[in-house]
Chains A and B, each alone.
Chain A
Amino acid sequence: MMQWPVAFDRFLERPVPIYIHIAAAGEGRPPFGCRGYTARFDAEGGLVRIGILKSQWIRLQACMRQHTALAALLTCGIDNESYQVKGELERQEDLNARDRSFLEAQIRLTSRHFPDYAPLISVNPADCVSIGIRAQAVYQQTPGPDAGVLLYEREG
């Protein structure tokens, strides 16, 4: 059985701007993706949680009528270290204190490294919802020879 990748957890702890996108795909139509603002691994529930705007959650759901599969791509804005999580929608809930703390840190870090882009992620936590992804696979996606390497796959 593959162990949950420590590198991914470490990545989420890095004090760097992390750009997040989440996507879903329906039948007979183009897929859909939107920006994420928070990310955390909920070890207890085994979920990767991505915070997105409630208005985008409505659109994401519309794209998930046939499939509940989701993909989330997380990329460091400094060095392009990237991971892609693939799995199934589990449940959504309001942002919790950890999510809010992550968002605040991201706004602060982006303001420091890329001040022009800080408005992009300066959302109100009350406008967001946290989407739970039961991770089935995690891939490394950092550009280079290891791009696409499978880091974790859930059995069953």
Chain B
Amino acid sequence: MMLSQMMSAFRGAIPSIIVTSGEDGRPNVANLSKIWLVDDEHIAIANQMLNKTELNLAVRPLVFIKTATPGDLLHWELEAEYIHAESGGALFESVRQHMDAIAWMAGLANPLPLRSMLIFRVLSVRKCSEEAQHLAPVPETCGDLLKVLSETLGMNRAAYWALDEEDQSPRLLASRGIPGAEKEGSAFASMRRFAEWAGSGDMPIRMQNISSQMRYANSSRSDRGEWGGGDLPNHLLAFPVMAFGERIGVVCCEETGIAEKSFDDLDDRYLAKIGERFRPDAGDGSLPERQSVHAKNRGNAVYSGYGLFRHQQQVVGQDQRYGASPRIY
């Protein structure tokens, strides 16, 4: 089943590519000016001079096709299986007329003839999030990621801090649910200090039931009143965000009420997994799934690796890779 979001990719505004492979395992890449949507499960490409592609398809029918939607420049990856070639029929004639019209408009006296239409059954469709991350401003991406944390783990007051490459100082990139965030920078004063602390290590840091201690400390300060009243955080949690083995940021979360959860139900290993997936430049919009407390207590591997959050994607059976139905990520 094709995703409605990618239908504009079939208008041919942005060139596509097809990757095939030969008997010796050598890949081959070919440009495609357009991909034709045949029906919900089949696509076709025009074979004018796809010599190597055609040879490869005869021995290895599995292909990789990459296309893009012009409005948002998102790339889409299609895994497909070659079915057959058509050198006649309605589709062939329609495409031939289309190409004749293009050639006539371009003033080509001897246009390349259409040899055949190559028909493929689509096995999977995947949004290439890896090559889309730089299309969105980073703060917006981080905001989306914080939203995921809020919706799934109840981290309603959270912020993402990027760490400076040189001195590791935290820089606020996105926040969610922090009171006064829109009006005053001081709303983040205590969290910035917490981010500085958490950014210096590789492990999650928790502080629990600290509001009364903070009030006491504040009352003894000469500049008391800076924290502005009774909305002090009672529980704090911070965990590092890692990319390619380096610490690049910190997620800080806070809760206020005494009765609120204190983040202690979140296993360190689970937070580490989130930290690996969270990074705004390479995330796929999913976080690791938590398993039962029993599994955690037994010390088993508690992360299944399935995407938990589906606001950006649908998951249809991780293991149904080349089954009858296309796989939608």
Q: Which residues of A contact B (CB under 8 A)?
A: 19, 21-27, 29-35, 53-56, 59, 66-67, 69-73, 75, 80, 82, 84, 86, 116-117, 119-120, 122-124, 127, 141, 143, 147-148
Contact = CB atoms under 8 A, between A and B. Distances in A.
A8 B30 CA distance: 17
A86 B28 CA distance: 8
* Interface of B (DSSP majority class): mixed
B140 interface: no
B130 A123 contact: no
B1 to A, nearest CB: 18
B73 interface: yes
Interface stretch (B62-70, B141-149, B188-196): B62-70
Interface of B: 14-15, 17, 19-21, 24-31, 49, 51-52, 60, 62-64, 66, 68, 70, 73, 75, 79-80, 112, 123, 128, 130-131, 133-135, 244, 281-282, 321
B281 A21 contact: no
Given A23-B64, A120-B135, A73 B17 contact: yes
Contacts of B321: 29
A117 to B, nearest CB: 7
Contacts of A70: 27
B19 A32 contact: yes
B202 to A, nearest CB: 20
Contact of B30 (A66, A69, A72, A73): A73
Report the 3 A-B pairs with minimum CB-CB distance, sorted nearest first.
Answer: A25-B21, A67-B25, A73-B29
A76 to B, nearest CB: 11
A71 B29 contact: yes
Nearest to A148: B51
A14 B281 CA distance: 30
Contact of B29 (A23, A26, A56, A69): A23
Contacts of B130: 34, 53, 55-56, 59
B281 to A, nearest CB: 6
Given A21-B29, A72-B29, A30 B49 contact: no
Given A30-B62, A31-B19, A117 B27 contact: no
Nearest to B165: A126
B131 A34 contact: yes
B29 A84 contact: yes
B57 to A, nearest CB: 12
Given A120-B68, A120-B131, A147-B51, 15 more contacts: A23-B27, A24-B27, A29-B62, A29-B321, A31-B63, A33-B27, A34-B66, A56-B130, A67-B25, A71-B29, A75-B31, A80-B31, A84-B28, A127-B282, A141-B30
A69 B133 CA distance: 28
A32 to B, nearest CB: 6
Given A30-B62, A56-B131, A71-B29, A35 B75 contact: yes
A150 to B, nearest CB: 11
Contact of B64 (A31, A54, A56): A31
Nearest to A136: B26
11 contacts: A21-B66, A23-B64, A27-B25, A30-B19, A33-B27, A33-B64, A55-B282, A69-B24, A71-B27, A73-B31, A116-B70
Nearest to A126: B165
A143 B73 CA distance: 25
Most-contacted residue by chain A among B17, B27, B62, B134 (CB, 10 A): B27
Contacts of B28: 23, 71, 84, 86
A26 B62 CA distance: 10
B200 to A, nearest CB: 21
B240 to A, nearest CB: 18
Contacts of B51: 147-148
Contacts of A31: 19-21, 27, 62-64
